[in-house]
A = this chain, B = another copy of it.
Amino acid sequence: MAQKDTAGRILDAAEALFSEKGFAETSLRNITTKAGVNLAAVNYHFGSKKSLIQAVFARYLAPFCEQFSLQLDLIENQQPSPEQLLKLLVITLTKSGLENPEKFGVFMRLLGLAYSQGQGHLRKFLTSEYSEVFTRYMKEINRVTPQLTPMERFWRIHFMLGAAVFTMSSVDSLMAMADHDLDTKTDVKDVIAQLMPFLASGLMAVDQDKTDGLKNVE
């Protein structure tokens, strides 16, 4: 167990270092040293650094998408609430190799990096490989928010994504901050429990400016 094959050890080391320092800041020498393998092994097993980055994502996303697709099948003929729809995502995440809270933080940090320092190749890779499941989930979101305009829905989805990714990217340091300032013992589950009502409320928010017109009618 402690002695995985070379490729696996490289992936482990790479994902840890990437999530700590970013892609460009992590050298192949960093990775191979941490993995205890030869420098050339990366290029031998993965071809290039870019492909290694994609492989790190694929190892997370492949099982996740599989699980998520299954979960989406289950609710297709049901009437879930927004909260349930969010919970579905979280549950799937924890059911596809991310049950470990530490791994969860790592994955979210990688996701944040993919957005912020998203070199073209990563974005193309992600959208081309995993857009189908995302589209299906969006359909479900549409169903539970019929009162929203398409524009409102579009932006609120991305606000939610931002709140989740951004927070979970640095969930470790934020938890440490919270525990220090508030004298608590926070856990990733607690953060998610805080996040869900925030997201649900934001998604369902009633825009005051939009409904102001009614005042004149009354």
Give A contacts to B, CB under 8 Å. 21-22, 24-25, 83, 112-113, 115-117, 119, 150-152, 154-156, 158-167, 169-170, 174, 177-178, 181-182, 184, 186, 191, 193-195, 197-209
A25-B117, A150-B182, A198-B205 known, 17 other contacts, Cβ within 8 Å: A22-B22, A22-B116, A22-B117, A112-B116, A115-B166, A115-B169, A116-B169, A158-B166, A158-B174, A159-B194, A159-B198, A161-B166, A162-B163, A162-B164, A197-B206, A201-B204, A202-B205
Residues of B within 8 A of A113 (CB): 116-117
Complex Cα gap A125–B199 (Å): 31
Interchain CA distance A186-B151 in the complex, whole Å: 9
- CB-nearest residue of chain B relative to A109? B116
CA A25 to CA B122, docked complex, whole Å: 15
Q: Which of B116, B170, B182 contacts A151 (CB 8 A)?
A: B182
A122 to chain B, nearest CB (A): 12
Contacts of A197 in B (CB 8 A): 205-209
Bound complex: CA A202 to CA B162 (Å):
13
> Smallest CB-CB separation from A186: which chain B residue?
B151
Q: In the complex, what distance in Å separates the CA atom of A200 from the CA atom of B198?
A: 10
A213 to B208, CA, bound (A): 30
Q: Which of A116, A164, A165 has the most CB of B within 10 A?
A: A116
Is the pair A160, B158 in contact by a Cβ cutoff of 8 Å?
A: no
- CB-CB nearest in chain B for A26: B24
Q: Whole-angstrom distance from the CB of A190 to the nearest CB of chain B?
A: 8
Find the residue from A24, A161, A203 having the highest chain B CB count within 10 A.
Answer: A24
| Residues on B with beta carbons closer than 8 Å to the beta carbon of A198 | 155-156, 159, 202-203, 205
Residues of B within 8 A of A203 (CB): 198
Chain B residues contacting A151 (CB-CB under 8 Å) are 178, 182, 184, 186, 194
Can you name the residue of chain B whose Cβ is closest to the Cβ of A25? B24
A180 to chain B, nearest CB (A): 11
The contact sample of 19 A-B pairs, CB cut-off 8 A, is A21-B117, A22-B116, A22-B117, A112-B166, A115-B166, A115-B170, A116-B117, A150-B182, A154-B182, A156-B194, A158-B174, A162-B166, A163-B166, A163-B202, A193-B209, A197-B206, A197-B209, A199-B202, A201-B201
